[in-house]
Amino acid sequence: KRKIIIDTDPGIDDTYAIIAALSYAGFDVLGITVVAGNVGLEPCVNNALGIVKLMDADCKVYPGAEGSLNQLREESGYELKTTVHGESGLGSVTLTPDLTKKSDTHAVDFILETVKAHPDEVEIISLGPMTNLALAIEKDRNTMKQVKTIWSMGGGVHLGNRTPVAEFNYWFDPEAVKETYDLGEDIEINMIGLDITHQTQITLDDLFFLRTECGEIGQILSRIAEHYQDMYWKFIKQTGVIIHDLVAVMTAIDPTLTDKFDILVGVNLQIETEGICKGQTVVQKHQSLFAEAGLAKNANVYMDIDPIAFKKAFMKLCFP
Ligand code: BDR
Ligand code: CA
């Protein structure tokens, strides 16, 4: 089995993604590390504990960073504001947390201990801001060089959602993204960004099917998506929802869902950390050009997915 750590800020779409990862027999989910992002750390941790209970999963939840690198370093403290996922992070739904699954170990220490125990074997699926990953790199870079792969939901080559040019996870903590992709010169980092997630959609019909035909879990997934539906309508006048984080997990499970010819392999990815372009990813494909500028290959960027195969794979996996 593949050894997996899920680093996440649940989050409506994170919930779909975690449920899929926990349902997949090929994954050994060693732990769920939590980061603030969609909502504050505490509600995100509670949501993760609720998902673990719902799935009766045999893994623990490790609380991590309470804000972005910059927010953590600001003496004045910070406030997280979010509307996209509702106050609880799951729209109007509150899950009952399994408090016995909450670990006292900090997410960063859990990541480092786990990678040390299984060098070159651990894959991290990153579904939120990259703060925990950056803190782990700052604490012990050599150990983080022994991560096998990072699958990252974030960024966009041609699209933004938090701003016209920046995706939310990368916008929230661009410094952490920079530090993580610097490690991409040594390890494999696969970006699953908005270019690919926006090719998929869970439609109103799909949500109806989840609610009526897919048992308790289907009902919960459909209910938590209601808030997302309102947001999608408000922002982009679309009735279906894009479950970004699920696309990252399904791609990690089966990369053949993506069109192999449109993975940008061995490209250079840089991120803007300030100003109006804060959080924008700049992906350069041509090595001859970026090498000239002293830049190295640090990423693979997935650009296309078969949306029908994606949806079928998710439904078959979670509701066989
Ligand atoms: C990403 O931002 C969050 O709102 C979602 O959970 C997802 O990880 C999409 O931009
Ligand atoms: Ca997320």
Strands (E), the chain: 2-8, 27-34, 60-63, 122-126, 149-153, 188-192, 263-271, 281-284, 299-302
Pairwise pLDDT comparison (263 vs 71), residue with the higher score: 71
Given a contact cutoff of 8 angstroms between Cβ atoms, the answer to whether 296 and 185 are in contact is yes
Pocket test for ligand 1, best of 244, 249, 280 (most atoms within 8 A of CB): 244
127 CA from centroid of ligand 2 (Å) = 4
CB 134 within 8 Å of CB 175:
yes
Mutate to test the pocket of ligand 1, among 15, 153, 202 (most ligand atoms within 8 A of CB): 153
Minimum-distance ligand 1 atom for the alpha carbon of 14: 6
- Measure the CA–CA gap between 110 and 39, rounded to whole angstroms: 22
Pairing of strands 2-8, 60-63: unpaired
Q: Quick one: pLDDT at residue 205?
A: 96
What is the complex's ipTM, to 2 decimals?
0.99
Report which DSSP code applies to 207: H
98 neighbors 163 (Cβ within 8 angstroms): no
Q: Report which bound ligand comes closest to the CA of 9.
A: 2
How far apart are the CA of 296 and the centre of ligand 2, in A? Answer: 28
| Ligand 1 mean position, distance from CA 168 (Å) | 6
At residue 235, the pLDDT reads 86
Phi, psi of 89 (to 5 degrees): 95, -15
Q: How many helices (H) and strands (E) does the chain have?
A: 14, 9
Atom of ligand 1 nearest to the CA of 85: 4
- Residue 51 to residue 62: CA distance in whole angstroms: 14
pLDDT in tens, 230-267: 888 988 899 999 999 999 999 999 998 987 667 788 99
User: What was the pLDDT predicted at 79?
Assistant: 62
Task: Give the whole-angstrom CA distance, residue 50 versus residue 173.
Answer: 26
- pTM (2 decimals)? 0.96
The answer to whether 218 and 180 have CB atoms below 8 angstroms apart is no
Q: 309 burial class (0-12, 13-18, 19+ CB within 10 angstroms)? A: middle
The ligand 1 atom nearest the CA atom of 10:
6
Pocket (CB within 6 angstroms of ligand 1): 11, 13-14, 38, 84, 127-128, 153, 161, 167-169, 244-245
Each residue of 87-114: pLDDT tens digit?
Answer: 788 988 999 999 999 999 999 999 999 9
User: Rounded to the nearest whole angstrom, what is the distance from the C-alpha of residue 25 to the centroid of ligand 2?
Assistant: 22
Residues carrying an active site annotation: 9, 244
